[in-house]
Chains A and B, each alone.
Chain A
């Protein structure tokens, strides 16, 4: 479904979601992120941290080694190219075991979890994701020695993936 269709859907819905849409639009316009985050079923920085804790556990999460590549300004949140590269020799003794991507404001904090190993040759993966709002994206790499490394990117989304009015 295109975003244009989505806007048409909006008009046929009862008032509440429309109002929410307007509030959201205004809030986005004047940068009141707190109000914008009151939509239904949104991940929050807290739920993102909880999801990350599920992966990282008690290990420390350090910044570095990981490069998360996303366009800083996203015109269409329905399909956003994302590349994660990790600085690793990818040998049997020292390689990336897993790459996890998390977000702050989609309905769920998880985006994708990838498992790879020394057979990959290089630690670089790409996919396409959805983003419901301007937010912070975090990529976490799990190394074979048990350490965790991360990188984060703030992105601005001008046209969000279809979410508004999702609960009538």
Chain B
């Protein structure tokens, strides 16, 4: 089971710039390494990460094999209104994961 860690403040003042940290467990096998028998291991990476704030896209990343295992992203957004921030990861071999957090804006 994929585990994702999300760090978003639960409360923020309206207009405040908040930091969002995300980390998801994934090997990010780059496709250039051999296993113990010398056979090349096929690529298996997360290719896309999207963050939406109340269904509006605020951050998107296209990942390449040069992203380290367990992809981590730190970015920011303006706390505009209370609601839900969603996170979606998709990748090779049909990989798909999603998380969401709620935020209260005062």
Inter-chain CA distance A1–B71, complex, in Å, is: 15
- A9 / chain B contacts, CB cutoff of 8 Å: 34-36
- A40 / chain B contacts, CB cutoff of 8 Å: 32
Check if A110 sits within 8 Å of B38, measured CB to CB.
no
Closest A residue to B66 by CB, please name it: A111
Q: Which of B36, B60, B71, B77 contacts A121 (CB 8 A)?
A: B77
Closest B residue to A110 by CB, please name it: B64
- B66 / chain A contacts, CB cutoff of 8 Å: 103, 106, 108, 110-112, 129-131
- Residues of B contacting A: mostly: strand
Stretch at the interface among A28-36, A59-67, A158-166: A158-166
Inter-chain CA distance A14–B35, complex, in Å, is: 13
Interface size of A as a range: 35 or more
Closest A residue to B65 by CB, please name it: A108
Number of A-B residue pairs, CB cutoff 8 Å, is: 119
Known: A9-B34, A119-B53. A126 touches B73 (CB 8 A): yes
**Residues in A101-147 with C-beta less than 8 Å from chain B:** 103, 106-108, 110-117, 119-122, 124-131
Residues of A participating in the B interface, judged by any CB pair closer than 8 Å = 1, 6, 9, 12-14, 40-41, 78-80, 83, 103, 106-108, 110-117, 119-122, 124-131, 161-163, 165-168
13 A-B contacts (beta carbon < 8 Å): A103-B66, A113-B61, A116-B60, A119-B53, A119-B77, A120-B75, A121-B78, A125-B74, A127-B71, A131-B66, A162-B33, A166-B40, A168-B39
